[in-house]
C-alpha cells in the first residue's frame, strides 16, 4: 500500500467522532501518481485521514494502470488483495474503463471510475465512508498532498493525447490533449517551490504539444504577455530558481527553442524523448509522432547549442513486423546517438490497440534475444559516456543520506528511472541539498563523486 508519510496528522482532528480513514494503493506511471495525489489532496481537504495499512482503513482506493496487459493483471491482483485485506474497495484509474472486466472478477467492489475522475472517486468515498462536516478539518498544505519526497515534485501540465500510436490506448483511455492554463501551472509550480521543492519534473503525455488545444492562448504572467506554449512555459519555469526537468518531449522543430534555456542553465540540460525505435518502417507502423524527423541531425544540432545535453529514451523491441535488419538499424542509431540513458521494453499486445492486428508478430524468444542485445549494446555506450565524466565537477541534488553515504543525482538523472551519484563523504548533507561534486568513478549506470561545495544561491 502506498505510504502516506508525507501527510501530517490533523492536529485538530478528533473532536467528536474520529475522522474516517482511507487507504490508497497507487499503481502505474507518474501521471497516475499525480492523479493519486489529487484524489488524496481532495480527501485530506475534506478531513479524511490516510491509513498506511489495510487494517486501519475504512475503505481503500485502488488507482489502477491499464497501459499494458501485464499492468492490468497487476492492477487486478491489487484489487483482489485490497478486497481480501479490507473488503471495502473503490477502483479508479486507467483500468477503470474496463468496469465489466473488473466486476466479472470482483463483483464486490464498491465503485469503479476511470482515469482523472477525481470528482467521481471522491463521491464514491463520500458514499462508502461519510463524514460529518467539520470546517476545522478542511486544512491541507497549500501545495496539496504529495507522495514524492519533499525536494522534488511532478508537475502535470496537460491530460490526454492527440496522437494515435498503434501500440497505445492512452488516447482512448484519457481522451484528446487538454492543456492546463498557463497561470494554473505556474501557480502550482510556485506553491511547490515555496514548500521547499528543489526540482520540478514536468510531465504529460506529450509535453512538447502543450497549448496546441488552446491555440497557444495569450495570457499575462508576472506583468509579461506570454503564450500557452512549451517554450514560454519552459522559460517561466526556468525563472523559479529550481531544477526543471522535461519529460515526454517529441523531437519537433519547435523544441529547438528551449535549447538556449538549457545552455544558459535555466532549465536542466535533459530531455526525455520516447523515440521507441529508429527504423523508419517500424516508426511509421507504430504511427509515432515526429517519426519523419531526422532525429540524429536534430540531436547533433542540439548538442552544438548545449554540449552538456543528456537525452534519455525508451525503445520497444519485437514490434510486429520488426526484422533483424530493422533491429540492426536501431542498434546502429544508438551507436550514433550516444544517448545518456536508455530503457527498453519487449513489445506486448495491449487489448484494444491497433497494433494487435498487425501481421508479423515476433516470437517471444526473438524479443528476448533482441532485448538482451540492445541492453548490452547500450551498456557499453553508457559506460563510455559516463566514464568520460570522471574528473568533471557536477551539480548534484541529494535524495537520501544513510550510513554508507549520500545518494544523489546529477542534471542527467531523473528520479526512479535514471542513475545515481554516490557520495561517500556526506557529513552535513541532507535530502534536498544541491552541491557541487567532483566525479571520481563511473559504471554503466552510476557515478561516484566527492563533495566540493554548494553552488552559490541554491537552497540547502
Contacts with ligand SF4 by CB under 6 A: the residue count is: 10
Q: Is 344 annotated as a binding residue?
A: no
Q: Based on the shown chain and the rule CB under 6 A, indicate whether residue 68 belongs to the binding site for ligand SF4.
A: no
Q: Based on the shown chain and the rule CB under 6 A, indicate whether residue 143 belongs to the binding site for ligand SF4.
A: no
For residue 286, the minimal CB distance to ligand SF4 (Å) is 8
Place of cell 510531465: 203
CA dist., res. 434 & res. 398, Å (int): 6
Q: Which is nearer to ligand SF4, 86 or 116 (CB)?
A: 116
CA dist., res. 453 & res. 436, Å (int): 5
- Where does this chain touch ligand SF4 (CB under 6 A) — which range of 163-171, 258-266, 298-306, 343-351? 163-171
Task: Indicate which single residue of 47, 115, 251, 289 sits in contact with ligand SF4 (rule: CB under 6 A).
Answer: 289
Task: Indicate which single residue of 22, 68, 125, 168 sits in contact with ligand SF4 (rule: CB under 6 A).
Answer: 168
The DSSP 8-state label assigned to residue 196 in this structure reads T
Contact 236, 184 (CB under 8 A): no
SS3 call for 362: coil
Q: Based on the shown chain and the rule CB under 6 A, indicate whether residue 96 belongs to the binding site for ligand SF4.
A: no
Q: Is 426 annotated as a binding residue?
A: no
Neighbours of 13 (CB within 10 A): 16
Q: What angle do CA 103, 82, 115 make, to 5 degrees?
A: 60
Task: Indicate which single residue of 52, 171, 321, 343 sits in contact with ligand SF4 (rule: CB under 6 A).
Answer: 171
Place of cell 494554473: 184
Binding mask 181-220 for ligand SF4 (x = CB under 6 A): ------------------------xx--------------
- Where does this chain touch ligand SF4 (CB under 6 A) — which range of 103-111, 159-167, 294-302, 414-422? 159-167
- Where does this chain touch ligand SF4 (CB under 6 A) — which range of 96-104, 167-175, 293-301, 404-412? 167-175
Q: Which is nearer to ligand SF4, 289 or 415 (CB)?
A: 289
Q: Based on the shown chain and the rule CB under 6 A, indicate whether residue 80 belongs to the binding site for ligand SF4.
A: no
Q: Which is nearer to ligand SF4, 167 or 243 (CB)?
A: 167
Q: Is 168 annotated as a binding residue?
A: yes
Q: Based on the shown chain and the rule CB under 6 A, indicate whether residue 101 belongs to the binding site for ligand SF4.
A: no
Rg of the chain over Cα atoms, rounded to whole angstroms, equals 23
Contact 151, 406 (CB under 8 A): no
Q: Is 65 annotated as a binding residue?
A: yes
Helix (H) or strand (E) run with residue 93 in it: strand 89-93
Q: Is 165 annotated as a binding residue?
A: yes
Q: Residue 253, exposed/middle/buried by CB under 10 A (0-12, 13-18, 19+)? A: exposed
The DSSP 8-state label assigned to residue 194 in this structure reads H
- Where does this chain touch ligand SF4 (CB under 6 A) — which range of 21-29, 105-113, 156-164, 310-318? 156-164
Binding mask 1-40 for ligand SF4 (x = CB under 6 A): ----------------------------------------
For residue 205, the minimal CB distance to ligand SF4 (Å) is 4
Cell of 53: 495499512
* Helix, strand, coil percentages for the chain (3-state, nearest 5): 35, 20, 45
CA dist., res. 273 & res. 286, Å (int): 15
For residue 251, the minimal CB distance to ligand SF4 (Å) is 12
For residue 206, the minimal CB distance to ligand SF4 (Å) is 5
Q: Based on the shown chain and the rule CB under 6 A, indicate whether residue 65 belongs to the binding site for ligand SF4.
A: no
Task: Indicate which single residue of 82, 157, 170, 317 sits in contact with ligand SF4 (rule: CB under 6 A).
Answer: 170
Neighbours of 15 (CB within 10 A): 9
- φ/ψ bin of 235: left (φ > 0), alpha (ψ from -120 to 50), beta (otherwise): alpha
The DSSP 8-state label assigned to residue 59 in this structure reads E
Q: Which residues, 6 or more positions from 107, have their beta carbon under 8 angstroms from its beta carbon?
A: none
Where along the sequence are the contacts to ligand SF4 (CB under 6 A)?
161, 163-165, 168, 170-171, 205-206, 289
Binding residues for [4Fe-4S] cluster: 29, 65, 94, 161, 165, 168
Amino acid at each position: 500500500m502506498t505510504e502516506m508519510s508525507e501527510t501530517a496528522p490533523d492536529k485538530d482532528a478528533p473532536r467528536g467522532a474520529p475522522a474516517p480513514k482511507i487507504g490508497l494503493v497507487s499503481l502505474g506511471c507518474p501521471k497516475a501518481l499525480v492523479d493519486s495525489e489529487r484524489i488524496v489532496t481532495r480527501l485530506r481537504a475534506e478531513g479524511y485521514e490516510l491509513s498506511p495499512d489495510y487494517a486501519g482503513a475504512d475503505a481503500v482506493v485502488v488507482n489502477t494502470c491499464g497501459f499494458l496487459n501485464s499492468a492490468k493483471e497487476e492492477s487486478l491482483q491489487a484489487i483482489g488483495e485490497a478486497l481480501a485485506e479490507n473488503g471495502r474497495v473503490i477502483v479508479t484509474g486507467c483500468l477503470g474503463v474496463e468496469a465489466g472486466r473488473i466486476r466479472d472478477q470482483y463483483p464486490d467492489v464498491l465503485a469503479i471510475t476511470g482515469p482523472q475522475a477525481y470528482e467521481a472517486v471522491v463521491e464514491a468515498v463520500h458514499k462508502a465512508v461519510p463524514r460529518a462536516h467539520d470546517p476545522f478539518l478542511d486544512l491541507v498544505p497549500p501545495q496539496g498532498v504529495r507522495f514524492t519526497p519533499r525536494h522534488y515534485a511532478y508537475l502535470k501540465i496537460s491530460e490526454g493525447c492527440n496522437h494515435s500510436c498503434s501500440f497505445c490506448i492512452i488516447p482512448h483511455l484519457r481522451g484528446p490533449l487538454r492543456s492546463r492554463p498557463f497561470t494554473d501551472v505556474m501557480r502550482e509550480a510556485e506553491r511547490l517551490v515555496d514548500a521547499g521543492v528543489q526540482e520540478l519534473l514536468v510531465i504529460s503525455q506529450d509535453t512538447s504539444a502543450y497549448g496546441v488545444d488552446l491555440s497557444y492562448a495569450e495570457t499575462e504572467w508576472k506583468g509579461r504577455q506570454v503564450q500557452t506554449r512549451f517554450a514560454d512555459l519552459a522559460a517561466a519555469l526556468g525563472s523559479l530558481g529550481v531544477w526543471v526537468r522535461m519529460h515526454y518531449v517529441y523531437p519537433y522543430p519547435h523544441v529547438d527553442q528551449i535549447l538556449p534555456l538549457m545552455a544558459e542553465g535555466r532549465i536542466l540540460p535533459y530531455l526525455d524523448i520516447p523515440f521507441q525505435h529508429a527504423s523508419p518502417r517500424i516508426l511509421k507502423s507504430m504511427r509515432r509522432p515526429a517519426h519523419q524527423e531526422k532525429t540524429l541531425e536534430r540531436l547533433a544540432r542540439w548538442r552544438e547549442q548545449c554540449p552538456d545535453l543528456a537525452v534519455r529514451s525508451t525503445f520497444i523491441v519485437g514490434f510486429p513486423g520488426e526484422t533483424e535488419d530493422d533491429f540492426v538499424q536501431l542498434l546502429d542509431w544508438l551507436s550514433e546517438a550516444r544517448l545518456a540513458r536508455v530503457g527498453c521494453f519487449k513489445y506486448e499486445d495491449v487489448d484494444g490497440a491497433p497494433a494487435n492486428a498487425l501481421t508479423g508478430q515476433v516470437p517471444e524468444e526473438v524479443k528476448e534475444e533482441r532485448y538482451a542485445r540492445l541492453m548490452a549494446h547500450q551498456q557499453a555506450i553508457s559506460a563510455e559516456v559516463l566514464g568520460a565524466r570522471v574528473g568533471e565537477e557536477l551539480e548534484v541534488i541529494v535524495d537520501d543520506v544513510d550510513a554508507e553515504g549520500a545518494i544523489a543525482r546529477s542534471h542527467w538523472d531523473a528520479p526512479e528511472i535514471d542513475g545515481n551519484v554516490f557520495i561517500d563523504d556526506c557529513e552535513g548533507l541532507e535530502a534536498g541539498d544541491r552541491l557541487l561534486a567532483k566525479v571520481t568513478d563511473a559504471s554503466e549506470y552510476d557515478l561516484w563523486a566527492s563533495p566540493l561545495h554548494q553552488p552559490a544561491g541554491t537552497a540547502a
